[in-house]
Amino acid sequence: MKVDFIIVGHGLASVAVIEHLRKYNASFVVFSDENANSSSKVAAGLYNPVTGRKMKQTWIAEQLFPYLEEFYSDLEQSLNANFLHKKSIYRPFLSLEDQNDWMAKEHKNNFFIKSTFTSPQFSDFITDDFGGILLEKSGFLDVKEMLDHHKAKLIEDKQFINERFEYEKLEVKENQIQYNDIESEKIIFCDGPLSHNPFFDWLPTAPVKGEILHIKTENPLPDDVIFNRGVFIVKNPQHDYYRVGATYEWKNLDYIPTEKAKKQLTDKLDDLLNIKYEIIDQVAGIRPASKDRRPLIGNHPELKNVFIFNGLGTKGVSLAPYFAHQFVESIINLKKLNDEVNINRYYPLYSS
């Protein structure tokens, strides 16, 4: 078999890269061993343009968020599926001081702010004594639903190989990639946080374990809004439960849910939610992240036909489409990658 690209991994990163390669009619084959605990499959898929305690606009949000909604909407149409859920996010103020600090700032240039409230709006469901802000260009992506439909399309087109990629079998020559009976011009690694990839093991990664609760509530929450302060509460229309998350753990990188994480989440949930709930499940995944919290994208320092698209971290839903576009343009049309994501920032760490 001859293809233009071998792609290793099938998650958010891989899907975004594949769909941008399609625009150039590039041929490819995808290897994935279907890790049921991958971060993509357990992620809540929230995309949120205003984050953190100080509710600041996230990095390059004005470029990321309009692009992501267009990208995923187009993908829904091509796959005849429904996995992008555009919803407002409501972030309640924690105190009168919190409200005053926000009102004192200049937010006219933040086009993600739909409304600001100084009195309770959802007190039947959550604690919002001091009002809050309502965001737009926000919502969540049902990542598992997207991956399932995308995989089905790849299988139908005979572009998916369900097996573990064995790095030691890869032969990299100057103008050719050989893997078993597959000959390719280039290879792209989108292989997650704990792949032990020998071509890129010199990059300073910082994988993050995250845990999420699945809960049922005594009464249903509003369908058109996502509550997010301390924890997020997201209901997938295809399920009868809510996802609550998420935690961050850098040391114990396994897929085992913990009591510590459960307590962290329930403590914050109890502060936010005003109605009774029960926990029905708890899941864990590991996010591929970098030490400087910027994606790891670009070309191997010596092997000019070996590439990586990884390290998207906790904001993978919003980062993947925009930077996959940049990445593919850099390969096909030799356009410049954003310096903050290009792995050439770490070339000094590489030794052959």
C-alpha distance across the termini of the chain, in Å: 30
Q: What pLDDT is recorded for position 37?
A: 53
| Residues of the chain with confidence (pLDDT) below 50 | none
Per the listing, tokens 């990586």 go with 308
pLDDT tens figures, 268-277: 999 999 999 9
Whole-angstrom distance, CA of residue 113 vs CA of residue 320: 23
Whether the CB-CB separation of 42 and 257 falls below 8 Å is answered with: no
Q: What pLDDT is recorded for position 80?
A: 97
182-189 and 306-310 beta bridge pairing: parallel
Model pTM above 0.75: yes
Q: What are the distances in angstroms from CA 47 to CA 105, 133, 335?
A: 24, 16, 27
Whole-angstrom distance, CA of residue 170 vs CA of residue 136: 45
Q: What pLDDT is recorded for position 174?
A: 86
Q: What pLDDT is recorded for position 273?
A: 95
CB neighbours of 258 closer than 8 A, spacing ≥ 6?
Answer: 211, 252, 284
Q: What are the distances in angstroms from CA 199 to CA 29, 100, 195?
A: 19, 51, 11
Domains of the chain: 2-42+144-203+291-349 (3.50.50.60), 88-137 (no CATH), 208-287 (3.30.9.10)
